[in-house]
C-alpha cells in the first residue's frame, strides 16, 4: 500500500506546475525602488492566459508558439529615481544561487556607454536545458527573470517591439505641428 | 544655429507617404476587428451563453494574458539588447 | 473615408491623416527604403487600430505612434541586418562643390546617417526630424538621457569629420 502511494505521488509530480528555480530574494533592491513589477505565472496560469491569445493576430501567434515549452515565468523589475541607488552587493543573493552546479552562464555583456550589465544563465539537468535566468542591471533599473521550461531565446528576443501598447503620456509642451 | 544641424533638419524633414497610403490603411483596418469591437463581441457572447460567472472568467483570462505579455516584454528586452551588442561587435 | 469614433474622441481616420508623415518618415529615415517604410508604417497604424481604446487623448496618440514607429523600425532594421548594408565606402563622393541647401548634401547626410549603428541613428532621426529634446528621445528609446546626449555628440562629430574629408565644411558657408 505504501509503495503504491509513493508511486502515485511520483507519477503526479510531472503534472505539478514548475515553481521558480531560484529564490528571487531582492528585498534590499525593492526597498530602494521607486516602482516595481512583480509577475509570477505558473504553468496553469500560462495555459489559461494562452486561451485568450488571438490566433489571427500575428503577434499573439508568435507568443503562443513561444510559450509552448514554458512551465513558469517569474519576473521582478525595479525602477529607481536616480542612478547609483542599487549596488552589486544587492544582486549577490541572486548570483550566489546561480553559481551552483546546475547553472551555467552563457552570456555576460556590459555596455561601455552606461554600464548596463546583462547576464543569461541556463539551468541544466541531465544535458537538457530546463530553465533560463536573466539578470539585467542598468543604472536606473534592475530586472531578474526566471523562465522554467524550454524557451527559444532567439524567438524571445524577436518579440521585442511587438508589445504594441506602450503607456506613453502626452508631452508637457507643444510639439512640432503635423 | 549650427550649420550642420540646420542641414540635418533639412535632410531629415518629414516626407509624405506614397499616394493613397491613408486610404489603404483604413480599408485594411476596416477588415480587421478593432480592439473595442473584439472586447464588446466577446463580452456579449459570454454573458448570453454562460452568464455572469463566465464573464468574470473572461475578465480573469484577459488579465492573465496581460500579465503574461508584460512578463515576456520584460524578459525579451535584455536578450534583445545582448543580440544587438553581439551583432555590433561582429559587424 | 472610414472612421471609428471611440469614447476618447480619437478618430482613427483622422489620426492616420494627421500622423502618416511622421510615422512614415521615421521608418524611411531609419531604414532608407520607401517600400519597407510604407509596410512598417502600415503595421504601426494597424497596431493603433487594435489598441485604439487605450489611447487617452490626441496628444497621447501622437506620442504612442512615435514610440511604436521607433520600435517597429528598429525591429525591421534588425531583420534586415543580415542582408548586405550600404558601407560607408559606397557612399559616393560629391563630384561638385556643395552649397547650403543643396539636395546633394541632404542626400549625403541621409546616407551617412544610415551607416550609423541603430541607437545613434534613431537618436539622430528623432532629434532632427521630430525636434525632440534629449529627455523625450530618452523616453521614446528607453535609454538614459546621458546616453542620448553622448550619441548626439559623437554622431555630430563623426558627420563633421566625414563631411570635412569630402571637402564639405563650415568654410563652404557664407551665411
pLDDT at residue A13 greater than cutoff 90? no
Kindly state the helix (H) or strand (E) to which residue A39 belongs, with its residue range. strand A35-42
Considering the entire predicted model, what is its pTM?
Answer: 0.50
Q: At what angle do helices B35-90 and C58-80 cross, to 10 degrees?
A: 40
pLDDT at residue A2 greater than cutoff 60? no
Alpha-carbon span A119 to A122, nearest angstrom: 10
Q: Both C132 and C160 in a single domain?
A: yes
Question: Three-state DSSP class for A162?
Answer: coil
* Cα of A176 to nearest chain C Cα, Å: 7
pLDDT at A101: 86
Largest CA distance in chain B: 68
Q: Both C65 and C114 in a single domain?
A: no
pLDDT at B17: 94
Percentage above 70 pLDDT, chain C: 79
Question: Three-state DSSP class for C100?
Answer: coil
Taking CB atoms within 8 Å and a gap of at least 24, the contacts of C102-108 are C105/B7, C105/B11, C105/C168, C106/B7, C106/B10, C106/B11, C107/B11, C108/C163, C108/C166, C108/C168
Q: Both C74 and C106 in a single domain?
A: no
Q: Both C31 and C100 in a single domain?
A: no
pLDDT at B1: 56
Alpha-carbon span B81 to C96, nearest angstrom: 41
Q: Both C73 and C108 in a single domain?
A: no
Lowest mean pLDDT among A56-65, A84-93, A116-125, B19-28: A56-65
pLDDT at residue A5 greater than cutoff 60? no
Strands A103-110 and A117-125: antiparallel
Chain B residues closer than 8 Å to C127 by CB: 8
How many distinct structural domains can be found in chain C? Answer: 2
Query: Across the A/B interface, how many CB contacts are shorter than 8 Å?
Result: 98
Q: Both C95 and C135 in a single domain?
A: yes
Strands A35-42 and A117-125: unpaired
Confidence band for B9, pLDDT divided at 50, 70 and 90: very high
Per-range mean pLDDT, top range of A24-38, A47-61, B20-34, C121-135: C121-135
| Domain span holding position B81 | 3-90
CB contact under 8 A, B18 and C38: yes
Contact A134, A106 (CB under 8 A): no
How many distinct structural domains can be found in chain B? Answer: 1
* Cα of C103 to nearest chain A Cα, Å: 23
CB contact under 8 A, B71 and A66: no
CATH number of C155's domain: 1.10.10.10
Q: Both C95 and C78 in a single domain?
A: no
pLDDT at A43: 87
Alpha-carbon span B68 to B47, nearest angstrom: 25
Three-state SS sequence of chain B: CCHHHHHHHHHCCCCCCCCCHHHHHHHHHHCCCCHHHHHHHHHHHHHHHHHHHHHHHHHHHHHHHHHHHHHHHHHHHHHHHHHHHHHHHHC
| Domain span holding position C152 | 90-167
pLDDT at residue A129 greater than cutoff 60? yes
Alpha-carbon span C132 to C137, nearest angstrom: 6
Contact A114, A93 (CB under 8 A): no
**Is C174 part of any domain?**
no
pLDDT at residue A14 greater than cutoff 70? no
Percentage above 90 pLDDT, chain A: 19
A→C interface, C-beta within 8 Å: 57, 83, 113-114, 138-140, 158, 160-162, 164-166, 168-171, 175-176, 178
Contact A39, A88 (CB under 8 A): no
- Mean pLDDT rounded to a whole number for chain A: 78
Rounded average pLDDT over B79-85: 75
Q: Both C74 and C3 in a single domain?
A: yes
Confidence band for B58, pLDDT divided at 50, 70 and 90: confident
Alpha-carbon span A136 to A121, nearest angstrom: 12
CB contact under 8 A, B15 and C21: yes
pLDDT at A6: 32
Contact B24, C42 (CB under 8 A): yes
Low-confidence ranges of chain C (pLDDT < 70): 1-10, 81-101, 170-175
Q: Distances from the Cα of A36 to the Cαs of A140, A144, C27, in angstroms?
A: 12, 11, 33
- Determine whether A31 is exposed, middle or buried from the number of CB atoms within 10 Å of its CB (0-12, 13-18, 19+): exposed
Contact C169, B4 (CB under 8 A): no
CB contact under 8 A, A52 and B72: no
pLDDT at A7: 32
**Is C175 part of any domain?**
no
pLDDT at C92: 54
CB-CB neighbours of B88 under 10 Å: 12
Q: Both C96 and C114 in a single domain?
A: yes
pLDDT at A37: 86
Lowest mean pLDDT among A109-118, A141-150, B7-16: A109-118
pLDDT at residue B31 greater than cutoff 80? no
Contact C163, C88 (CB under 8 A): no
**Is C142 part of any domain?**
yes
**Is C73 part of any domain?**
yes
Question: Three-state DSSP class for A144?
Answer: strand
Domain boundary among C83, C107, C136: C83
CATH number of C49's domain: 1.10.1740.10
Domain boundary among C21, C48, C83: C83
Domain boundary among C22, C52, C83: C83
Nearest one of C146, C153, C154, C159 to C114, comparing CA atoms: C159
pLDDT at A168: 38
Chain C residues closer than 8 Å to A114 by CB: 143-144, 146-147
Q: Distances from the Cα of A95 to the Cαs of A42, A123, B76, B81, C29, in angstroms?
A: 23, 13, 20, 20, 42
- Higher-pLDDT residue of C17 and B49 is C17
**Is C33 part of any domain?**
yes
What ipTM was reported for this prediction? Answer: 0.83
Q: Both C105 and C154 in a single domain?
A: yes
Amino acid at each position: 500500500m505504501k509503495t503504491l502511494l509513493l508511486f502515485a505521488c511520483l507519477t503526479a509530480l510531472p503534472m505539478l506546475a514548475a515553481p521558480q528555480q531560484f529564490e528571487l530574494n531582492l528585498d534590499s533592491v525593492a526597498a530602494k525602488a521607486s516602482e516595481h513589477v512583480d509577475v509570477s505565472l505558473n504553468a496553469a496560469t500560462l495555459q489559461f492566459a494562452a486561451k485568450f491569445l488571438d490566433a489571427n493576430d500575428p503577434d499573439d501567434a508568435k507568443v503562443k508558439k513561444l510559450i509552448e515549452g514554458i512551465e513558469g515565468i517569474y519576473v521582478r523589475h525595479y525602477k529607481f529615481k536616480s542612478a547609483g541607488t542599487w549596488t552589486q552587493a544587492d544582486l549577490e543573493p541572486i548570483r550566489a544561487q546561480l553559481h551552483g552546479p546546475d547553472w551555467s552562464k552563457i552570456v555576460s555583456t556590459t555596455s561601455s556607454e552606461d554600464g548596463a550589465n546583462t547576464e543569461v544563465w541556463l539551468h541544466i539537468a541531465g544535458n537538457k536545458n530546463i530553465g533560463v535566468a536573466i539578470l539585467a542591471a542598468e543604472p536606473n533599473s534592475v530586472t531578474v527573470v526566471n523562465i522554467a521550461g524550454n524557451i527559444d531565446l532567439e524567438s524571445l528576443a524577436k518579440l521585442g517591439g511587438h508589445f504594441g501598447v506602450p503607456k506613453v503620456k502626452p508631452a508637457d509642451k507643444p510639439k512640432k505641428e503635423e | 544655429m549650427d550649420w550642420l544641424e540646420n542641414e540635418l533638419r533639412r535632410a531629415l524633414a518629414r516626407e509624405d507617404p506614397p499616394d493613397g497610403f491613408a486610404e489603404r490603411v483604413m480599408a485594411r483596418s476596416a477588415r480587421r476587428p478593432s480592439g473595442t469591437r473584439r472586447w464588446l463581441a466577446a463580452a456579449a457572447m459570454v454573458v448570453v451563453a454562460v452568464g455572469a460567472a463566465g464573464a468574470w472568467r473572461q475578465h480573469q483570462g484577459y488579465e492573465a494574458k496581460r500579465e503574461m505579455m508584460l512578463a515576456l516584454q520584460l524578459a525579451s528586452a535584455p536578450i534583445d539588447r545582448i543580440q544587438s551588442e553581439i551583432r555590433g561587435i561582429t559587424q | 473615408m472610414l472612421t471609428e469614433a471611440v469614447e476618447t474622441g480619437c478618430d482613427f481616420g483622422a489620426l492616420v491623416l494627421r500622423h502618416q508623415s511622421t510615422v512614415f518618415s521615421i521608418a524611411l529615415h531609419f531604414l532608407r527604403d520607401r517600400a519597407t517604410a510604407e509596410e512598417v508604417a502600415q503595421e504601426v497604424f494597424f497596431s493603433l487600430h487594435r489598441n485604439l481604446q487605450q489611447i487617452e487623448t490626441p496628444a497621447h496618440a501622437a506620442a504612442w505612434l512615435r514610440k511604436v514607429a521607433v520600435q517597429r523600425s528598429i525591429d525591421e532594421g534588425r531583420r534586415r541586418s543580415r542582408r548586405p548594408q550600404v558601407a560607408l565606402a559606397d557612399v559616393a563622393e560629391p563630384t561638385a562643390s556643395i552649397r547650403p541647401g543643396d539636395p546633394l548634401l541632404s542626400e549625403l547626410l541621409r546616407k551617412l546617417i544610415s551607416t550609423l549603428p541603430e541607437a545613434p541613428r534613431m537618436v539622430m532621426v528623432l532629434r532632427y526630424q521630430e525636434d525632440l529634446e534629449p529627455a523625450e528621445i530618452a523616453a521614446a528609446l528607453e535609454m538614459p538621457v546621458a546616453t542620448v546626449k553622448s550619441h548626439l555628440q559623437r554622431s555630430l562629430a563623426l558627420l563633421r569629420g566625414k563631411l570635412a574629408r569630402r571637402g564639405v565644411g563650415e568654410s563652404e558657408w557664407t551665411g
